[in-house]
A and B are shown apart, each in its own frame.
Chain A
Amino acid sequence: MAGLNKPDITPPRWLLAELTYACPLQCPYCSNPINYPDYNNELSTDDWKRVLSEARKMGAVQLGLSGGEPLVRQDLVEIVSHGRELGYYSNLITSGLTLNEKRILELKNAGLDHIQISFQASSAEVNDFLAGTQAFQQKKDMARLVKKHGYPMVLCVVIHRQNIHQMREILELAIELDADYLELANTQYYGWAHRNRDQLLPTKEQFTEAENIAQQYKQKLEGKMKIYYVVPDYYEDRPKACMNGWGTTFLTIAPDGTALPCHAAAQLPDMQLPNVREFSINEIWNQSAAFNWFRGDEWMKQPCRSCPEKTRDYGGCRCQAYMLTGDMYAADPVCSKSPDHATITSITETTQENDLNNEDQPLIFRNPKNAAHRHNPDNSK
């Protein structure tokens, strides 16, 4: 395999532990796979501790504890405590449901560094509609308790057409809750979000207006609140440097132990994803076919192969290329140099028309009934 363009393998820096796909919420933009019930054979506490130890030994230092809802795992405190002993900086990414003051204190004592609470919207009505359950007040209460107990206060709001009109109110909510960080993450269209794309993608005008508001607040709040703004890549003309390059930085472990170079990689064809039940993290990272698949640039086609920007964006997202062109080796069609770029333009134009004609289909909520799985293959589209 040693070609000129095969770079040295860099060690993982980020371990994203998707502890469970169980979740009390039903967000229609969930990034979990649409067949998430197939992952119910969850790793044991000892498996997770071994995964943390092995990844740490290789150089991983940021630990994301995510899901689903990670608080559903009864062994969360034990996992956090193990992570702290190993020297990880641990981030709990939660909906705030099933959280309470006692648990916040237990996690703090176990060495958890930070809790990120998601909000679906700035009002109870929209928030609870999107979450598919009553959650707004609980989230606000938990955000205040997180702050009270000395954690950095991080709010995350996923932005799409159902809440983008609330941009100003979302920022005001963050101020009201005294957030230290606010992540405004425009929806990335994978998993459930891809299924609901036509109902979620904002129009160009909506996006521009919201971004202007976010920028105003960013200046106004400088030094008080850090605002991270994740751009919606359908309105860019260059692709994102997905995962900072395949197999360079991020290691995701699904609830059943499947190791993923990115959390959407399970949909890619021919990719036999290794499982931590069978292989060590070292073997997975360095030797598995899956993690080596898109390392370097030998796999690239034109226009990426001869593009001077390939060292910056790595050809964009492999999953997006596959979903939108049927070819995982193609340039990410977000790129205006891609021969398939018209696919993106046609999607954004449809959005524009739907919005004008008010022709939205109902959202498909993330729940077992709507999930695609072995017994319900019709839901796979």
Chain B
Amino acid sequence: MAFNTTLSINLAPGHRLQWEEAQNAYVILYPEGMVELNQTSAEILKLCTGELCFDEIVARLEQLFNVQNITDDVHEFIQVAFDNGWIKQT
């Protein structure tokens, strides 16, 4: 399912993003499972707090990390995160 780029994005209920010292990585935790995230994925998910929509997340990332032309990459990851049920829109 395609997501709506104008609606804000939040972590799905029951999901938690957390830094794990033992794994030296961020993980997303959900009922009976977890996925270790690479740094880029974690930085994107950190902005999924229900306040920002897709374009705003891209803008914030470009500003935070002083990068450009990341829209396609971010779009691809956000789509994966939606398909996995980690994030949602209301």
By a beta-carbon cutoff of 8 Å, the part of chain A in contact with chain B is 11, 13, 58-59, 61-62, 64, 87, 89, 91, 113-114, 116, 150-152, 154, 180-181, 222-223, 226
Asked, given contacts A58-B22, A61-B27, A61-B29, whether A89 binds B16 with beta carbons under 8 Å apart, the answer is: yes
Give the contacting residue for B85; candidates A13, A89, A150, A226; CB below 8 A. A226
Asked, given contacts A61-B27, A61-B29, A180-B14, whether A89 binds B34 with beta carbons under 8 Å apart, the answer is: yes
Give the contacting residue for B31; candidates A59, A61, A87, A114; CB below 8 A. A114
List 15 additional contacts besides A114-B32, A116-B32; criterion CB under 8 Å.
A11-B22, A59-B22, A59-B23, A61-B22, A61-B27, A61-B29, A61-B34, A62-B29, A64-B32, A87-B18, A89-B18, A89-B30, A89-B34, A223-B1, A223-B85
Closest chain A residue, CB of each to CB of B13: A152
> Is residue B62 contacting chain A, with contact meaning CB distance below 8 A?
no
Per the CB 8 Å criterion, the residue count for chain B at the interface is 18
Closest chain B residue, CB of each to CB of A58: B22
Q: How far, in Å, is A60 (CB) from chain B's closest CB?
A: 8
Contact A91 B31 (CB under 8 A): yes
Contacts of B51 in A (CB 8 A): none
Complex: how many Å from CA A59 to CA B14? Answer: 21
Asked, given contacts A61-B29, A62-B32, whether A150 binds B13 with beta carbons under 8 Å apart, the answer is: yes
Q: How far, in Å, is A110 (CB) from chain B's closest CB?
A: 15
Contacts of B23 in A (CB 8 A): 59
Q: How far, in Å, is B69 (CB) from chain A's closest CB?
A: 30
Q: How far, in Å, is B90 (CB) from chain A's closest CB?
A: 13
